[in-house]
Structure 1
Amino acid sequence: MTNHVTGSQETLSPVKSSNPEIAVIQANWHIDIVSQATNSFTDDLEAAGINRRAISVFDVPGSLEIPLMAQKLAETGRYDLIMATGLIVDGGIYRHDFVAGTVLDAMMRVQLDTGVPVLSVVLTPHNFQEVPAHMDFFREHFVLKGKEAANACLQTLSNMALFSEEKRLAS
Structure 2
Amino acid sequence: MASALKNLSTYDESNIPDASPLNFGVVVADWNKDITHELYRGCLETLTKHGAKEENIHVVQVPGTFELPAAARILAGREKLHAVVCIGCVIKGETKHDEYINNSVAQGLVNLSIATGLPYIFGVLTPNTHEQAVDRAGGKHGNKGVEAGVTAIRMGELYRGAKEGRSGIGFR
Alignment CA distance shift 1:167-1:57 (3 Å) = same
Q: Specify the SS of the correspondent of 2:87.
A: strand
CA contact under 8 A between 2:109 and 2:120: conserved in structure 1?
Answer: yes
Q: Specify the SS of the correspondent of 1:97.
A: helix
- Mapping 1:115-154, distance limit 5 Å: 115-126=117-128, 128-129=129-130, 133-134=131-132, 136-140=134-138, 144-154=143-153
Other-structure match for 1:36: 38
Q: Specify the SS of the correspondent of 1:166.
A: coil
Other-structure match for 1:53: 55
CA contact under 8 A between 2:125 and 2:144: conserved in structure 1?
Answer: no
For residues 76 and 134 of structure 2, the distance between their equivalents in structure 1, rounded to whole angstroms, comes to 33
* Structure 1: unaligned runs, 5 residues or longer: 1-16
Deviations 1:80-111 (A, max 9, x none): 21100101112201211111001110111112
Other-structure match for 2:7: none
Other-structure match for 2:70: 68
CA contact under 8 A between 2:137 and 2:144: conserved in structure 1?
Answer: no
For residues 126 and 161 of structure 2, the distance between their equivalents in structure 1, rounded to whole angstroms, comes to 33
AA partner of residue 63 (structure 1) = T
TM-score for the superposition, normalised by structure 1: 0.77
Other-structure match for 1:22: 24
Deviations 1:118-171 (A, max 9, x none): 001112112x14xxx556424325852111112111211221232223269xxx
Q: Percent identity?
A: 22
For residues 111 and 76 of structure 2, the distance between their equivalents in structure 1, rounded to whole angstroms, comes to 12
Deviation above 6 Å: which 4+ runs of structure 1? none
TM-score for the superposition, normalised by structure 2: 0.76
Other-structure match for 2:14: none
For residues 21 and 165 of structure 1, the distance between their equivalents in structure 2, rounded to whole angstroms, comes to 15
For residues 135 and 80 of structure 1, the distance between their equivalents in structure 2, rounded to whole angstroms, comes to 28
For residues 24 and 67 of structure 2, the distance between their equivalents in structure 1, rounded to whole angstroms, comes to 18
Q: Specify the SS of the correspondent of 1:89.
A: coil
CA contact under 8 A between 1:74 and 1:114: conserved in structure 2?
Answer: no
Cα deviation, residue 58, structure 1: 0.7
Larger gyration radius, structure 1 or structure 2: 1
